[in-house]
Structure 1
Amino acid sequence: MDPQPPGGSALWEGHDPSEGAIYVRVCPALQAGAGVAGVGTAIAGPQVFWAAQAPAANVDPAQLAQEALDKMTLLGPDIGITPKPGGQGVVGMPVYMWTAQTAETYGPNSASASAGGVTVTATAKVKRIVWDMGDGNSVTCTTAGTPYKAAFGKKASPDCGYRYSEPSSTQSGGRYHVTATSTWQVDWQVNGGGETGQLAATRNNAVNIDVAEVQVLN
Structure 2
Amino acid sequence: MLTKTRALIVALVAIAAFLVPAAPSVAAPPDCDVIELNCEIIIELPEEPGDPETDPVSGVTPGPAECLRRIAEGQYEKVPCTSDRGSWSNASQCYWSYMDPQMPPPAGADPTGAWYECSGFGEYVTGSWLTTPPPGLGLTPGQAAARIIQTMTFQGLDIGMAPQVNPDWGYRRSYVGVPIWLWAENRTAQNWGPYVVTATLGGQTITVNAKVTSVLWNMGDGGTVACANEGTEYRLEYGFTNSPTCGYLYERMSRDAATGRFTVTATSQWAVDWTGGGQSGSVPLAATSTDTVEIRELQSVNVTPLG
Shorter-chain TM band = 0.7 to 0.9
Matches within 5 A, 1:1-218: 11=23, 24=52, 26=54, 48-50=64-66, 52=80, 57-85=137-165, 86-100=171-185, 101-190=187-276, 194-218=278-302
Q: How far 1:57 sits from its partner (Å)?
A: 3.6
Q: Distance in 2 between matches of 1:202 and 1:62?
A: 20
Aligned partner of 1:33 in structure 2 is: none
Moved more, 80-89 or 100-109: 80-89
Stretches of structure 2 that go unaligned for 5 or more consecutive residues are: 1-20, 26-50, 68-79, 88-135, 166-170, 303-307
- TM-superposed CA distance for 1:119, in Å, is 0.6
3-state secondary structure, aligned to 2:153: coil
Deviation at 1:93, TM superposition (A): 1.1
Shift of 1:172: 2.5
Describe the shift of the 1:53–1:45 C-alpha distance in structure 2 as closer, same or farther (beyond 3 A): closer
With 146-155 and 55-64 compared, the bigger mean Cα shift is at 55-64
1:133 and 1:206 map into 2 onto residues whose CA distance is 10
- Residue 159 of structure 1 aligns to a residue in which SS? coil
Q: Give the distance between the partners of 2:156 and 2:242, measured in 1 at CA.
A: 24
| SS in structure 1 of the partner of residue 192 of structure 2 | coil
Does the 8 A contact of 1:189 with 1:196 survive in 2?
Answer: yes
> Helix, strand or coil for the counterpart of 2:255?
helix
Q: CA deviation at 1:98?
A: 0.9
Question: Cα distance, 1:44 vs. partner?
Answer: 9.1
CA–CA separation in structure 1 for the residues paired with 2:202 and 2:293:
52
Please list the CA deviations of residues 86-111 of structure 1 after superposition, one character each: whole Å capped at 9, or x if unmatched. Answer: 23212111101111221011001122
Query: Counterpart of 1:169 in 2: which secondary structure?
Result: coil
User: Structure 2: how far apart are the matches of 1:131 and 1:168?
Assistant: 17
Cα root mean square deviation, aligned? 3.0
Measured after TM superposition, the shift of residue 72 of structure 1 is 1.4
Identity of aligned residues (%): 34
Task: Output the amino acid matched with 2:153.
Answer: T
Instruction: Spell out, residue by residue over 1:136-192, the C-alpha distance to the aligned partner (whole angstroms, 9 max, x if none).
Output: 01111111111111111112111110010112223222111100111111000006x
State the TM-score, normalizing by the size of structure 2.
0.54
Task: Please give the alpha-carbon distance, in whole angstroms, between the structure 1 residues aligned to 2:196 and 2:151.
Answer: 9
State the shift of 1:53 in Å: 5.9
Count of aligned residue pairs for this structure pair: 187
SS of 2:237's partner is: helix
Residue type of the alignment partner of 1:26: T
Letter in 2 for 1:202: A
Listed as ranges, the gaps of 5+ residues in structure 1 are: 1-8, 14-22, 29-42
Letter in 1 for 2:291: V
Normalised TM-score (structure 1)? 0.75
Larger RCO (CA within 8 A; separation ≥ 6): 1
- 1:120 positional shift: 1.0
Q: Secondary structure at the match of 1:183?
A: strand
Letter of the structure 1 residue corresponding to residue 66 of structure 2: W
Give the conservation status (yes or no) of the 8 Å contact 2:270–2:284: yes
Q: 1:50 to 1:208 in 2, by over 3 A?
A: same
